Structure 1
Amino acid sequence: MANEVRNEAIEYAKSQFDAAFRRLEAAQSRLQALAADPGGDEAELRMARASYDQARLLWLCSEAALRSAAIVAGHARQTGRRVVILQGNSHVAESIALLLRLRGFRATVMSRDPAHEDKSSEPAAAVLMDFERKRDHADQLALGRLNVAPATRVIAMVPHALLRQDWDGFDAVLLKPASIDMIVQMILGDTPE
Structure 2
Amino acid sequence: MANDIDDGSVGHAKAEFDVALRRLESAQRRLQALVANPGDDEAALQVARSAYDHARLLWLSSEAALRSITLVENRQAHANRRIVILPGSSHVTESLAILLRLRGFRATIMSKHPAGLDRAVEPTAAVVADFDGRQEQEDELAVNRLRTSPATRMVAMVPAALLHHEWHGFDAVLPKPTTVDAIIRVILGDAHE
Superposition TM-score, scaled by structure 2 size: 0.61
Structure 2 matches for 1:61-72, cutoff 5 A?
Answer: 67-68=67-68, 70-72=70-72
Q: Using the alignment, how far apart are the partners of 1:79 and 1:115 within structure 2?
A: 27
1:8-46 Cα distance to aligned partner (Å, 9 max, x none): xx9xxxxxxxxxxxxxxxxxxxxxxxxxxxxxxxxxxxx
Contact 2:185 2:191 in 1 (8 A): yes
Contact 1:121 1:147 in 2 (8 A): no
Aligned partner letter, 2:161? A
Counterpart of 2:180?
A: 180
**Compared with structure 1, are the counterparts of its residues 82 and 123 closer, same or farther at alpha carbon in structure 2 (3 Å cutoff)?**
same
Q: Using the alignment, how far apart are the partners of 1:116 and 1:150 within structure 2?
A: 21
Structure 2 matches for 1:115-154, cutoff 5 A?
Answer: 118-146=118-146, 148-154=148-154
Secondary structure of 1:151's aligned partner = coil
Counterpart of 1:79?
A: 79
Aligned partner letter, 1:179? T
1:112 shift after superposition = 1.7
1:108 shift after superposition = 0.4
1:71-92 Cα distance to aligned partner (Å, 9 max, x none): 1324533222000001111111
1:105-126 Cα distance to aligned partner (Å, 9 max, x none): 0000001244585123102110
Counterpart of 2:167?
A: 167
Counterpart of 1:94?
A: 94
Between the two proteins, the alignment pairs up a number of residues equal to 140
1:141 shift after superposition = 3.0
Q: Using the alignment, how far apart are the partners of 1:113 and 1:90 within structure 2?
A: 15
Structure 2 matches for 1:26-37, cutoff 5 A?
Answer: none
Q: Using the alignment, how far apart are the partners of 1:189 and 1:142 within structure 2?
A: 22
| Runs of 4+ residues deviating >3 angstroms | 1-4, 63-70, 113-117
1:137 shift after superposition = 1.9
Identity %: 55
Q: Using the alignment, how far apart are the partners of 2:188 and 2:173 within structure 1?
A: 14
1:161 shift after superposition = 1.1
**Compared with structure 1, are the counterparts of its residues 117 and 138 closer, same or farther at alpha carbon in structure 2 (3 Å cutoff)?**
farther
Q: Using the alignment, how far apart are the partners of 1:113 and 1:166 within structure 2?
A: 20
Aligned partner letter, 2:106? R
**Compared with structure 1, are the counterparts of its residues 68 and 102 closer, same or farther at alpha carbon in structure 2 (3 Å cutoff)?**
farther
Aligned partner letter, 1:89? S
Counterpart of 1:104?
A: 104
Any unmatched runs of 5+ in structure 2?
10-62
Any unmatched runs of 5+ in structure 1?
11-62
Q: Using the alignment, how far apart are the partners of 2:141 and 2:95 within structure 1?
A: 24
Deviates more, 1:67-76 or 1:77-86: 67-76
**Compared with structure 1, are the counterparts of its residues 74 and 105 closer, same or farther at alpha carbon in structure 2 (3 Å cutoff)?**
closer
Q: Using the alignment, how far apart are the partners of 2:81 and 2:120 within structure 1?
A: 14
